[in-house]
């Protein structure tokens, strides 16, 4: 089967395949990349159409710039991720919905949501043929290693979580100066001007955060696999929670806000703080849970194992098989 992924968002961010692991491109890119690899392993011919810096074949997958997509191109399945070509001769078109998917995409035959909550959030996209298929995680890349005693990690971008660490980190360090708070995140400015972002970075560093900026998965996982707590104070209605899942696979205990799909994802293994980070008392409660994990080795070990076990339900091979059973064979 000829399968295409079409993702033309963020023209300033260039796909270069090999940089998925070496330079962070964000969760959507990671999901496309991993699912495409699984389809290729199944024997399908796979093409990723996007903003490609260097067009070529990488790991058996065609990477071609969207400017070269024409109505003459024929594929069996076109998977649109927030964006679609104007015209296509694909036998079937599905949308892998995220957050900015057009509400009136006439090309779409079927819609794939990342969770039941995601389908509720984007209920205007629901069609007769709608499927719930979660994101996945690379279980070989994200895996528990020998943990540092006092490490906390967060992965996100400025509008989701970072600003709260200007308060969280100083309070943690006041209680225990040995606690290290690692922040990894995108350098894109989502509604921020450059001066605001630079000021935020400086505030985070001055607050004692180990701010690493945007990095690829190879560097992130080396630290994440050694951290104990994944603190995720998000205001964003997460459609799935890929960063949290990756942390769980690394054996980190997640502490999350009650938004989007996060409560379902971390249920029975992590901690859910009611409300959002800006709500009264939220940060205090999150700090209490963080200290509880860092200061109780038995509790950490128990929760860490539960997190890894739950993450193992979301390996990319298993996720790709769900796509194959529900989408590719129909």
Alpha helices in the chain (DSSP H): 19-22, 27-41, 116-121, 165-175, 194-206, 217-224, 242-249, 262-266, 282-294, 297-311, 316-323
- Report residue 24's pLDDT band, with 50, 70 and 90 as the boundaries: low
> Which pLDDT does position 104 carry in this prediction?
45
Given a cut of 60, whether residue 51 has pLDDT beyond it is: yes
Q: Which residues pair with 49 in a beta bridge?
A: 6, 64
DSSP 328: I
Q: What is the dihedral of CA 286, 291, 297, 298, to 10 degrees?
A: -50
How many residues does this entry show for the chain? 330
Pairing of strands 56-58, 61-65: antiparallel
- CATH topology match: 2-136+315-328 vs 151-313: yes
Lowest model confidence (mean pLDDT) among 16-25, 205-214, 264-273, 320-329 = 16-25
CATH superfamily of 151-313: Glycogen Phosphorylase B; (3.40.50.2000)
Q: Where are the domains of the chain?
A: 2-136+315-328, 151-313
Over residues 272-328, the pLDDT tens digits come to 999 999 999 999 999 999 999 999 999 999 999 999 999 999 999 999 999 999 998
Model-wide pTM > 0.75:
yes
Lowest model confidence (mean pLDDT) among 145-154, 190-199, 208-217, 287-296 = 190-199
Query: Average pLDDT, whole number, for the chain?
Result: 87
**Most confident option among 95-109, 173-187, 197-211, 271-285:** 271-285
CATH of 2-136+315-328 given 3.40.50.970, 3.30.200.20, 3.40.50.2000, 3.40.50.460: 3.40.50.2000
Mean pLDDT throughout 129-141?
92
Q: Please, which residues have CB within 8 angstroms of residue 134's CB and are 6 or more apart in sequence?
A: 114, 115, 240, 314, 319
Mean pLDDT throughout 171-196?
81
Over residues 55-107, the pLDDT tens digits come to 999 889 999 999 999 888 889 999 998 888 888 888 888 988 876 665 545 56
Angle of helix 297-311 relative to helix 242-249, nearest 10 degrees, comes to: 120
**27 and 9 Cβ atoms separated by less than 8 Å:** no
């Amino acid at each position: 089967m000829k399968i295409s992924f079409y993702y033309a968002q963020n023209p300033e961010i260039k796909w270069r395949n090999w940089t998925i692991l070496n330079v962070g491109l964000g969760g959507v890119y990671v999901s496309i990349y991993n699912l495409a690899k699984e389809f290729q392993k199944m024997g399908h011919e796979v093409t990723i159409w996007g903003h490609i810096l260097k067009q070529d074949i990488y790991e058996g997958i065609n990477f071609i710039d969207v400017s070269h997509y024409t109505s003459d191109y024929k594929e069996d399945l076109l998977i649109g991720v927030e964006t679609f070509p104007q015209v296509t001769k694909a036998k079937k078109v599905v949308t892998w919905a995220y957050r900015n998917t057009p509400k009136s995409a006439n090309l779409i035959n079927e819609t794939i949501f990342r969770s039941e909550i995601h389908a509720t959030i984007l209920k205007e996209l629901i069609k007769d043929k709608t499927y719930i298929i979660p994101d996945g995680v690379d279980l070989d890349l994200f895996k528990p290693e020998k943990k540092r005693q006092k490490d906390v990690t967060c992965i996100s971008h400025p509008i989701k979580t970072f600003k709260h660490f200007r308060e969280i980190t100083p309070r943690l360090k006041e209680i225990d100066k040995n606690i290290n708070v690692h922040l990894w995140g995108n350098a894109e400015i989502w509604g921020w001007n450059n001066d605001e972002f630079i000021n935020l970075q400086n505030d985070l560093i001055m607050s004692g955060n180990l701010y690493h900026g945007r990095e690829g998965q190879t560097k992130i996982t080396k630290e994440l696999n050694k951290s104990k707590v994944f603190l995720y104070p998000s205001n964003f209605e997460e459609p799935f929670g890929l960063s949290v899942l990756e942390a769980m696979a690394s054996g980190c205990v997640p502490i999350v806000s009650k938004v989007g799909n996060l409560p379902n994802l971390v249920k029975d293994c992590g901690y859910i703080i009611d409300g959002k980070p800006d709500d009264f008392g939220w940060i205090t409660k999150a700090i209490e849970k963080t200290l509880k994990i860092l200061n109780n080795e038995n509790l950490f070990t128990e929760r860490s194992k539960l997190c890894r076990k739950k993450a193992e339900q979301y390996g990319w091979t298993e996720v790709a098989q769900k796509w194959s059973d529900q989408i590719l064979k129909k």
